[in-house]
């Protein structure tokens, strides 16, 4: 806490102590709210991840870009692309299909075992 005054001013100890206590309480409350927001975000991410994994396990990979929730709900991004069975599905803001084809070919050539 910072207090400004035009003239020097003595702040009594009980008032300084009360301000210190209030700031500690305020800090605890802010910390709780930040933790609660993080828990809520994590819960949402885990729920979305579960739904998307279920879509993949039901042999419906196209659903992760065509249904809700989609892969963009899991990852913060402007766009996503899926290459499956020699077809492209684009979602959001993405490079052109030709550019994505080039990226896909490069990934398959250099990282084919992990993609």
pLDDT for residue 60:
80
- Three-class SS of residue 83? strand
Q: Note whether 56 and 91 are same-domain residues.
A: no
User: Does residue 81 sit in the same domain as residue 56?
Assistant: no
- The torsion region of residue 92 among left (phi > 0), alpha (psi -120 to 50) and beta comes to left
Q: What is the pLDDT along the chain (115 residues), one digit of tens a residue?
A: 777 888 888 889 999 999 999 999 999 999 999 999 999 999 999 999 999 999 888 878 888 888 889 999 988 899 999 988 888 999 999 999 999 999 999 998 998 787 6
Please report whether residue 67 resides in a domain: no
Q: pTM for this one? A: 0.66
Answer whether 61's CB lies under 8 Å from 55's CB: yes
Of 90, 87, 86, 54, nearest to 69 by C-alpha is 54
pLDDT of residue 25: 97
Q: Which two tokens stand for residue 113?
A: 């075992």
- Statement to judge: residues 50 and 99 lie in one domain: no
Residue 68 in domain: no
pLDDT given at position 58: 87
Print the domain residue range for 88.
Answer: 77-115
Measure CA 90 to chain center. 21
pLDDT score at 9: 86
């Amino acid at each position: 806490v910072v207090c400004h005054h035009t003239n020097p001013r003595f702040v009594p100890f009980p008032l300084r102590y009360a301000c210190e206590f209030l700031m500690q309480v305020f800090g605890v409350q802010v910390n709780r709210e930040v933790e609660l927001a993080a828990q809520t975000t994590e819960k949402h991410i885990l729920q979305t991840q579960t739904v998307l994994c279920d879509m993949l396990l039901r042999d419906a990979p196209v659903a992760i870009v065509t249904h809700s929730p989609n892969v963009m709900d899991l990852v913060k991004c402007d766009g996503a692309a899926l290459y499956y069975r020699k077809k492209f599905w684009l979602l959001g803001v993405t490079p052109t299909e030709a550019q994505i084809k080039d990226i896909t070919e490069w990934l398959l050539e250099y990282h084919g075992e992990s993609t």
